[in-house]
Amino acid sequence: MRVTDDRYSRDWRRLELAVRMIRHEARTGTIRLWTGLSDDRIRKLYRTYVQSVAVTPVRRHRGKTPSQTSFFLRNREMRRHGALLAGIYSRLGLLDRDAAGHPLLPGRPAMQWGGLVLSAYEAYLELCPDVCISFEHACHLLDALWAETELGLAACRSCAALTLVDRLRVGSAGCTFCSSQRTSRPLASPGSERMQ
């Protein structure tokens, strides 16, 4: 009886995770990878969700998953959104590392941490109605931050806010707010700057 209960509970969590992913227009491949459900099961789930639950249109995305980290650094707005989402990841423990500096979660089944990623993405949607990071890009951001080869998260040198940094560039800029202050500040005569 106990085994049946555990299996039922696991299946339920799997389906719940898949439906949340469908709601955020995750690709079938990502849903399969995270939940272990077959493509056929995902298709049926998608049809059921769209026909009986969805109140807004849900698109199915095909093609390659995002793989360009430059997406998050291409302008100030994207860096701001990326830093916000990365900060939520950090807050929820998704970027935690072991004593040797290796990320804790990537080697574990996504069923253990997938719900947290969805919660982070949903928090981002709440905070940023002008959303410009899709769920698939949000997953890519997490992968990039785990890898820490091209993209990193660091405290701004001026205000200590978390900011995305380009690890391939020496002397990456501060947070988007401080960078915009620097570029919009009028030229001042020596000694005229006031402390902020």
- Of the two residues 37 and 173, which places its CB atom closer to Zn ion in the complex? 173
Q: Give 159 or 168: the residue with its C-beta nearer to Zn ion.
A: 159
Question: In terms of CB distance, is 125 or 178 closer to Zn ion?
Answer: 178
Tokens at residue 144, please?
Answer: 């990039």
- Burial environment of residue 40 by CB neighbours within 10 A (0 to 12, 13 to 18, 19 or more): exposed
158 scored as a contact of Zn ion (CB under 5 A): yes
Q: How far is the CB of 194 from Zn ion (least distance, A)?
A: 18
CA Rg value for the chain: 20
Q: Is 155 in the site for Zn ion (CB under 5 A)?
A: no
Per DSSP, which regions of 38-158 are E strands? 151-155
Residue 127 binding Zn ion, by CB under 5 A: no
Nearest CA to 136 out of 157, 121, 155 is that of 121
Q: Which of 33, 145, 129, 13 is nearest to 88 (CA)?
A: 145
Q: Are the C-beta atoms of 87 and 162 separated by less than 8 Å?
A: yes
Q: Quick count: other Cβ atoms within 10 Å of Cβ 29?
A: 15
The interface region with Zn ion, picked from 37-45, 61-69, 114-122, 159-167 by CB under 5 A, is 159-167
Judged by CB under 5 A, the stretch of 61-69, 85-93, 132-140, 160-168 that binds Zn ion is 160-168
**Does 174 contact Zn ion by CB under 5 A?**
yes
Closest to Zn ion by CB, 117 or 162:
162
CB closer to Zn ion, 111 vs 178? 178
- Are the C-beta atoms of 5 and 28 separated by less than 8 Å? no
Q: Is 175 in the site for Zn ion (CB under 5 A)?
A: yes
Residue 156 in contact with Zn ion, rule: CB under 5 A: yes
Q: Which residues of the chain form contacts with Zn ion (CB under 5 A)?
A: 156, 158-159, 161, 174-175, 178
